[in-house]
Amino acid sequence: MNGLHLIADLHDCRCPAQRLLDVSWLESYCVDACQQHGLTVVGQLFHPFTDAQGAAAGVTGTVVLAESHLAIHTWPEVSGVTLDVYVCNFSGDNSCRAQALFDEMIATFDPTRLEKQAVARGQLQPTAR
């Protein structure tokens, strides 16, 4: 399970506000970005939310990767995005691909304030039987 987990909270994003509401654009962008950075898409699910009046209210999406996943949640009411990219390094080191994807996505949403973490995930030791 040796891998890299990248997590970010993007605040006051300066991207066009519609990007945080448009489920079709977000899904297409996320899938394309994963592929462009050499990651293997095996599935995706994006869900749009609505408020009490039925107006668009954000999107949650996940791209399932052979290497692990990308998850995104948009918060248009505060121009925010939460971002999660995890890759395992089972068949090779995917850390550079994950970092490039993460950096591109942050640039795309253009936050005025950013909180981010990188967590190196450890290797499991075989269990004695």
Q: Which residues are catalytic?
A: 68, 73, 88
**Secondary structure tally for the chain: helices H, strands E:** 2, 6
Token representation of residue 25: 């654009």
CA–CA gap between residue 52 and residue 60 (Å, rounded): 17
Name the one residue in this structure whose structure tokens are 């995104």.
72
- Could you tell me how many residues make up the chain? 129
